[in-house]
Structure 1
Amino acid sequence: MIKLQHVSKTFRVGKNRIEALKDVSLEVHKGEIFGVIGFSGAGKSTLIRCVNLLERPTSGQVVVDGENVLQLNKTRLRLLRRKIGMIFQGYNLLETANVYENVATPLKLEGVPKEEIKARTEKYLEIVGLSDRKNAFPSQLSGGQKQRVAIARALAHEPEVLLSDEATSALDPNTTDAILELLLKVNKELGITIFLITHELNVIQRICDRVAVMENGRVVEQGTVVDVFTQPQQPMTRRFISTESKFQIPETVKSDLLKSGRLVKLTFIGESSKDPVLATLAKQYDVLPSIIAGGIDQLKDQSVGRLLVHLKGDEAKVGTAIDFLHDQDVLVEEVKN
């Protein structure tokens, strides 16, 4: 659906050159929710704005639905942009227009017939849950309601792709959850592909199928959310996920535990989290497992459990027990001094 191939973008500020994007390649599949995460200045906003040419890449290719957007003339680019809706952190609503008019006005400017405008506006206000607020003005709405208007406005063009530029970063946690549920609904029920950028790990965990991690204008890691979340390869990814913070124990305690056994970090994905594997270690392998720390994270389609476990017993039996854990699809990482 969307292919970015070796995309770079350089800005000139006076005599200085700023490389916002450096040889970025990624692909967003039709019907999925793809997220890009990174800290401020990573290049996320520039990247997503290259998809509909709000920013034109310095080099590389941007292919949307089989068309290289960099080769389109103004007329064809305008038609392609109708397939691409976009929502922003700042809502971009008309303050002097009510909710209905904010959704309907862009359709009027496109020349959509009057009856079609009415039908679409009412349909998408219903989908976002604002039918009863259609006569309200933006100043009378909460932040979450304003974002729902912006989503309805984008959907009213009936796009195939929805771009989300930090759409939840100005919202409180409860409102963020409600907007994420709405985006899941839009993706599932309307079949719209969603390409979003964020600095919030919760957004990626909750709704994305795949993710790319950006740092200093580059994509440093990408893959399924489960793979990247459970087995991060790059320091930047580990900083976002912060798995280490869940297992912080005093060095003296860690030293004592390592003297009397082995310390392992266990990650349980999906079905593996339901099996009583630690009980099996005690019963079948004569190994005593003690849980030191742990927690559960909920991803879009499955849960991920993490435990820091002390394994005490005969060294050979502990080794066999760890082999058993591997066989049960549990990810095992041994903690050393």
Structure 2
Amino acid sequence: MIELKNVRKSFFSNKQEITAVDGVNMTINAGEIHGVIGYSGAGKSTLIRCVNLLETPTEGEVLINGKNLLKLSSSELREVRSKVGMIFQHFNLLKTVTVYENIAIPLKLSGVPKSELKERVEKYLKIVGLEDRASNYPSQLSGGQKQRVAIARALSLEPTILLSDEATSALDPETTESILDLLLKINRELGITILLITHEMNVIQKICDHVYVMENGSVVEQGSTIDLFTSPQHSTTQKFLNTISQRQLSDSLVESLNVTGAVTRLTFVGAATGKPALAEVSKKFSVTPNILTANIIELKNGIVGNIVVHLEGDKNAILDALKYLEQSGIRIEQLGGRQA
């Protein structure tokens, strides 16, 4: 388990104090994947580096399995850190040695016996799917393969926690997908707890159980991934969601569609996504649904569907139809619209 309690990190620049992380609290249970998302400068990189004390917090507590890292001796801290692996955006591989040696180096530094060292390197090369690349040099690998080597290196010391600092942001979408699949596999098969930071909502969508949204050093919203995707409260969260689904129609688009009256967003969660809800209301009530935009988002632990719709018909019939939809487990949100 990872616990952050009122963690604050400040720096001084030109004699001015800059607060990069401001009073952050987190609890990450063993075996879960938590994600921190925010725009550039939000403080997320500083935050993740506070977890293994690459950055020492100015205030607060950092606990791993109940141990406050800020109160440990140097030897005790090294022992805890040995169980916390980390992967980075730019791989940090040594260019002059092979893939095998890149993975073996931390094992050698930790005093792992030669007989066990070879077994471990081969084990984690197999897990990341690079058994046939052991003798290659980093210059002979693609970006995705380099990141897989970095992941194997982080796993070689057999950590219980893996920290990911923008590990997919330098990769193309297809390669990003394959790396996320690999992280899911590592989490499920090895039981490793993962904390990652990203500025990409599709990363959160695919693998996270819980998400924190950061802005100006603070967590402005947090919750289970499915809750934030279905009911985002903060404007920053809503902006991120707009990058993967058009949740909010612009006034110009509403005008171009010649829509008058109320526009409503319907959010379907889980089993509700399979219901022919709009077909039912058109039969039960004197309304005609006009679908303006729709999408289905597959999350790690569920499915969320969004439909932005304009219901045409008598005002009372529309109210009855919306009430029926709400009683069917569908979330209703009025978006406004152009008046007739």
State the TM-score, normalized to the length of structure 1: 0.96
For the residues of structure 2 that align with 1:238 and 1:288, how far apart are their CA atoms?
A: 28
Question: Which of 236, 257, 260 in structure 2 is aligned with 1:257?
Answer: 260
Q: Distance in 2 between matches of 1:272 and 1:142?
A: 42
Partner of 1:209: 209
CA distance in 1, matches of 2:248, 2:12: 43
Q: Does 2:221 match 1:247?
A: no
Q: Which moved more, 1:289-298 or 1:270-279?
A: 289-298
The SS at the match of 1:221 is strand
State the secondary structure of the residue aligned to 1:332: strand
CA distance in 1, matches of 2:257, 2:247: 14
1:34 is paired with a residue whose SS is strand
Q: Does 2:141 align with 1:138?
A: no
Aligned-partner SS, 2:92 = coil
Identity of aligned residues (%): 54
Separation in structure 2 between the aligned mates of residue 7 and residue 302 of structure 1, nearest angstrom:
31
Give, as a single letter, the amino acid of the residue that structure 2 aligns with 1:155. Answer: L
Cα distance change on mapping 1:317 and 1:143 into 2, 3 Å: same
Change (3 A) 1:256 1:60: same
- In angstroms, what is the RMSD of aligned CA positions? 1.4
Q: Is the alpha carbon distance of 1:168 and 1:256 closer, same or farther for their aligned partners in structure 2, counting shifts above 3 Å?
A: closer
Counterpart residue type for residue 53 of structure 2: L
Number of aligned residue pairs? 334
Aligned runs of 1:1-337 on 2, under 5 Å?
1-242=1-242, 247-248=249-250, 250-253=253-256, 256-258=259-261, 262-337=262-337
Structure 1 residue 252 displacement after superposition: 3.0
Paired residue type of 2:296: I
Q: State the Cα distance separating 1:95 from its structure 2 match.
A: 1.0
Gaps of 5+ in 1: none
Superposition TM-score, scaled by structure 2 size = 0.95
Q: SS of the residue aligned with 2:310?
A: strand
Which 5+ residue runs of structure 2 have no aligned equivalent?
none
Contact 1:246 1:294 in 2 (8 A): no
Q: Is the 8 A contact 2:8 2:22 kept in 1?
A: yes
1:64 maps to a residue whose letter is I
Whether the 8 Å contact between 2:3 and 2:63 is mirrored in structure 1 is: yes
3-state DSSP of counterpart to 2:260: helix
| Residue 314 of structure 1: how far off its partner (Å) | 2.6
1:112-151 deviation line (CA, Å, top 9, x unaligned):
1111111111000000000000000011111100000000
Shift of the alpha carbon at 1:256?
Answer: 4.2
Structure 1 range deviating more: 69-78 or 229-238: 229-238
**Secondary structure of the residue that 1:87 maps to in structure 2?**
strand
Rounded to whole Å, the distance in 2 between the matches of 1:336 and 1:139 is: 55
Q: Secondary structure at the match of 2:35?
A: strand
1:244, distance to aligned residue in structure 2 (A): 5.3
Contact 1:281 1:321 in 2 (8 A): yes
Over 3 Å counting, the alpha-carbon distance change for 1:236 and 1:109 in structure 2 is same
